[in-house]
Structure 1
Amino acid sequence: MRYVIYGLPCAGKDYLLSRMPFLQHIKGSEWLNTQSDNRFRELSKEEQDDLRRQFIRYVNGIGTGNVIVDGHYAFPEGDGYRQAFTDSDGDCYDVFVYLDTPMDIIHERIQSSDKNAIYSHLTISELQAWRDHEVSELFGEVLRRGKEFILLDNDVESIIRFMKGLADGSVLTAPQVSRMNADKVINAASGKRRIVLSDGDKTLTVEDLTKSVSIPEELKVHKAFQGDRYTTYQFWKVRQPYASLNDLDDRYAPALSNVHFDKSILDDLSKVDGLKVIVTAGLEDLWSKAAVLSGVMDMAVGSKANGLDNMSQLGKAYLCRYLKDAGFEVIALGDNMVDYYMLMEANKGYVIAHVKKNASLQNTVQAGTKLKQPAYNQIKFEGVEEVDSIHEDIE
């Protein structure tokens, strides 16, 4: 596979790449400077873009193997940003990685960097705005193309183990996981042409069932999802503690015996003609048991306890996309930002609010959305159209 890694100046990409001998590192900036006699920054935008396209042709000509390129997405210019990313970049790479180093660390490093002195005047808030622009725009480009997007933190040892797993194929990307699960769902459809994809935790249940499974406190990975990071890396990271436990079935039992399903949602879905699938970023084997207990849902797909197959934010969206491409009508339900792009991909998507209403999703849908919500749900998202029931709305 071909990887590209982005990040702000002084994010630490060079050090990180030096710790990954299992990936062939191609220095993009070095190649561009060599080809332009070290005058790359002096070239016009058109000349720079043309040279970048030549570089992509060079990368595409390398052949098989795992190759990683360090790149730049955009640069501050005036009141906005000048984009370095081209369509050729988007078409070339399979996995797009962003090293999301804390802004205070980047700011401190830039102050003592001769190479990046040009950015020394930027404040932490201006660096944050630059980062937010890059992550948002890059995520959109990747989503449109159906590829993998990874947000990394500054936990170097975990990053190396994760990236090695991607490189040797033991850890699957979002498109790979979604293709595999789409095949499972299609095989289970048995002639049905409508599929309901519903999140599990706090959509079908009152509580977060996955978090209800007891694991030792010292094994918990805290704050992995902070900042709405819901990529394959985050789910791989939080699954690692489960992989070390050999008594998961025993740990599942108390959580399942105390699960509280949202009876209104289940009653509504029971009247929908179609295959009903729980799509969870939580544990698939736990939710497969919960599907049986629900009496309504037919099956579950999600993350494996060993952390090798993970249903991420993009994974949910691509599963929905693949099923639509296969000719199915897809109805989707969810309660937070992990589900949002799945809901937007669906023929019809429904948000389900709960007591601890997801603030990020509220802000997103309030800005305008095609999504709807059932009127019988006691808690509502503001700015979202209400329908009497899901089953009546889709008929």
Structure 2
Amino acid sequence: MKYALYGLPCAGKTTVFEWLTIPVVHGSTELNRMASGRFSDLPDTEKKSLRIRYAEQLKARTGNFISDGHYSFLDDVAFTDADGELYDVFIYLYCEPEIISERLKSSDKNRRFAELSIERIRKWQSFEIESLRAECHKHNKDFYVVKDISADELQAFIDSIENGFSSFGLAEDIADQIMHFYPQPCDIHICDGDKTIIEQDSFRVCTGGHVTHVFDGNFYTGYQAFQFTKEVENLSYDTEKLSTVDLNGTIFGMVADKNYVILSSGIKLLWERLAEQFTLKNVIADTLISADTKYFVVKLLQEKGYTVTAYGDGKNDYFMLKQADKGYLYIGKYLSRSLRDSDLSGISLVYDRFPYILADNDDSIADDIAICKSDSGVNGAMLADAHIRLGRKLGEVMRGFIPNVNSDVIVLERGGRFFGDGVYTGFGGTFYSYNPKTDALPDIQQGLAVIVDSVINTGKSVLDMITKLKKKNPEIEIVIVSNVIQNDAVDLLQGYKVFAVRTSANSFIGSRQSTQKNGKGPDTADRLFNYID
């Protein structure tokens, strides 16, 4: 087996190598030797050529060995296709950005990176992990991220691989099992177990809330599955508590009459009981199933002519959902923390459409709500400040419910301006300012559009806007956000997720006047821009 150990400069690869028993090849040293000691001075084209030659030499080498490597140097990618084809297993040594930052400052060899910010190091490391993972997915290679690992622990993991552990190999076995269930290529629905086909996490239910820290790095590679399997092997489970578990009617209703498989990374014993309890068929459960295993299962089935629809709720399902012909992410009430910085474009969202009203959940905003009310007498900058604060607070809450990566925030002018600024700073996404009276509707191509206005009265104009958006992009998800929304509008918009600071039964026509009378009242935009007479 040919192993590659990747990681940022100063991540600790050299230190780990000193104590491994598997033969070690120092890639940087070998490249420098091949370049007569001047590798760093070579033009980029010659560096690439030399790296390819080095990979070809290693490919001809027999026996097990591990070589270090660098995927990139900031934006300069050093990885080649020859590297992707050479190694059987890719291991990435993760190190906290704060630690790498301190090490870089004291490293003569890496002085050119000494001034990098911690955030830049974090993004660099994330880029390498995501890119290497994609390469391994392309080449059907195993990819493992290790963190805080000693040489002895790494060697023990390598020994386990030598003895047959493999995320891809497990995927091959599972794909064969699924093809035994459904021998002829067909439409198959692969559904995650915990928090997808059932509402709860069966492991936590039956262990009294046992908390694992194995997945804290949010990597979900086979190494984390390997660690988790070792952690739980001696735990006991109170299976009687499975009676408190609920079947997820929404997801089960989507697969019940289909050719489905439950593919769980949970405890096999618990899922055997759950299969009986809910009369579930074709349940496959194994704690060694990682996010990459699930991805490869889908890919292998597709290569055999199957069409795959996948369902999941978290990062362990993410790559499966992305690879599937159709992927459904079950959000329920809250978006999994593991996915809050993930690109969910192309994945359909299944979530609770019940309106979220901030005032019902946060007493600290009462003063700002009082400022915003039409009879407060507060206009201009002080009112705008309150709108911004409330918008930011609501935007921060929204991040726990819906994805903000590849989401478009469309702020309706003029009344939605300051509230929309707050929502944007709290939530994120891509910002669009839109005045329905003068502007063409933004050309929204991403998966989620967030429509923001300060006040929604009847909701009819919002529905008209949604119709136009869906005419351009029928698959787009719509979320509606408002400072205050009339009760009747909540009912009209019940097919969409609504976030609002508060609801109101008070309705009037906006006008440039300071008080309510004769069915008219202070216009929100005029109040914000201090135009009230």
Amino acid at match of 2:234: S
1:101-120 alignment, distance < 5 Å? 101-120=95-114
Q: 1:18 to 1:303 in 2, by over 3 A?
A: farther
Provide the residue aligned with 2:81 in structure 1: 87
Corresponding residue pairs, total? 362
The CA distance in 2 between the partners of 1:58 and 1:192, in whole Å, is 41
The CA distance in 1 between the partners of 2:25 and 2:187, in whole Å, is 46
Provide the residue aligned with 1:212 in structure 2: 205
Q: Where does structure 1 lack aligned partners over 5 or more consecutive residues?
A: 305-309, 388-395
Provide the residue aligned with 2:54 in structure 1: 55
Provide the residue aligned with 2:224 in structure 1: 234
1:61-72 alignment, distance < 5 Å? 61-63=60-62, 65-72=63-70
Provide the residue aligned with 2:12 in structure 1: 12
Q: Displacement of 1:360 after TM fit?
A: 4.8
Alignment partner of 1:126 out of 120, 123, 144: 120
Provide the residue aligned with 1:318 in structure 2: 296
| Secondary structure in 1 matching 2:92 | strand
The CA distance in 1 between the partners of 2:337 and 2:209, in whole Å, is 29
Q: Displacement of 1:333 after TM fit?
A: 0.5
Alignment partner of 2:162 out of 134, 154, 167: 167
Alignment partner of 1:298 out of 277, 281, 285: 281
Provide the residue aligned with 2:250 in structure 1: 264
The yes-or-no answer on 1:333 pairing with 2:311 is yes
Q: Which deviations, in whole Å up to 9, do the C-alpha atoms of 1:273-300 show, x marking residues without a partner? A: x1x21111222342233223222x3122
| Secondary structure in 1 matching 2:332 | coil
Q: 1:259 to 1:145 in 2, by over 3 A?
A: same
The yes-or-no answer on 1:282 pairing with 2:266 is yes
Amino acid at match of 2:162: A
Amino acid at match of 1:371: I
Farther off after superposition, 191-200 or 35-44? 191-200
Amino acid at match of 2:226: W
Q: Displacement of 1:131 after TM fit?
A: 1.2
Contact persistence 2:334–2:402 (CA under 8 A): no
Provide the residue aligned with 2:176 in structure 1: 183
Q: Displacement of 1:5 after TM fit?
A: 0.9
1:355-374 alignment, distance < 5 Å? 355-361=333-339, 363-365=341-343, 369-374=345-350
Amino acid at match of 2:347: L
Farther off after superposition, 86-95 or 234-243? 234-243
Q: Displacement of 1:336 after TM fit?
A: 1.4
Provide the residue aligned with 1:307 in structure 2: none
| Secondary structure in 2 matching 1:152 | strand
Q: Displacement of 1:376 after TM fit?
A: 7.8
The yes-or-no answer on 1:152 pairing with 2:152 is no
Larger Rg over CA atoms: 2
Q: 1:179 to 1:113 in 2, by over 3 A?
A: same
Contact persistence 1:353–1:377 (CA under 8 A): no
Q: Percent identity?
A: 29
The CA distance in 1 between the partners of 2:135 and 2:342, in whole Å, is 18
The CA distance in 1 between the partners of 2:183 and 2:276, in whole Å, is 18
Q: Displacement of 1:375 after TM fit?
A: 7.5
Q: Which deviations, in whole Å up to 9, do the C-alpha atoms of 1:344-377 show, x marking residues without a partner? A: 22122111112232245355355xx222245787
Q: Displacement of 1:48 after TM fit?
A: 0.8
Q: Displacement of 1:125 after TM fit?
A: 2.3
Q: Displacement of 1:142 after TM fit?
A: 1.7
| Secondary structure in 1 matching 2:331 | coil
Amino acid at match of 1:40: F
Farther off after superposition, 157-166 or 197-206? 157-166
Q: Displacement of 1:338 after TM fit?
A: 1.5
Q: 1:348 to 1:126 in 2, by over 3 A?
A: closer
Q: Displacement of 1:51 after TM fit?
A: 0.8
Provide the residue aligned with 2:384 in structure 1: none
Q: 1:288 to 1:329 in 2, by over 3 A?
A: farther
The CA distance in 2 between the partners of 1:73 and 1:187, in whole Å, is 39
| Secondary structure in 2 matching 1:166 | helix
Contact persistence 2:331–2:350 (CA under 8 A): no
Q: Displacement of 1:30 after TM fit?
A: 1.0
Provide the residue aligned with 1:393 in structure 2: none
Q: Displacement of 1:259 after TM fit?
A: 1.4
Q: Which deviations, in whole Å up to 9, do the C-alpha atoms of 1:205-234 show, x marking residues without a partner? A: 1111122231796xx642x22242110111
Provide the residue aligned with 1:391 in structure 2: none
| Secondary structure in 1 matching 2:84 | helix
Q: 1:207 to 1:41 in 2, by over 3 A?
A: same
The CA distance in 2 between the partners of 1:192 and 1:53, in whole Å, is 39
The CA distance in 1 between the partners of 2:293 and 2:43, in whole Å, is 39
| Secondary structure in 2 matching 1:10 | coil
Q: 1:375 to 1:91 in 2, by over 3 A?
A: same
The CA distance in 1 between the partners of 2:206 and 2:17, in whole Å, is 36
Provide the residue aligned with 2:42 in structure 1: 43
Contact persistence 2:185–2:304 (CA under 8 A): no
TM-score (norm 1): 0.84
| Secondary structure in 2 matching 1:352 | strand
Q: Where does structure 2 lack aligned partners over 5 or more consecutive residues?
A: 356-400, 404-446, 449-474, 478-533
Q: Displacement of 1:144 after TM fit?
A: 2.0
Q: Displacement of 1:378 after TM fit?
A: 5.8
Amino acid at match of 1:38: G
Contact persistence 1:284–1:300 (CA under 8 A): no
Which has the higher relative contact order, 1 or 2, with Cα contacts under 8 A spaced 6 or more apart? Answer: 1
The CA distance in 1 between the partners of 2:209 and 2:328, in whole Å, is 35
Provide the residue aligned with 1:392 in structure 2: none
TM-score (norm 2): 0.63
- RMSD over aligned CA atoms reads 2.4
Q: Displacement of 1:112 after TM fit?
A: 2.3
The CA distance in 2 between the partners of 1:386 and 1:353, in whole Å, is 16
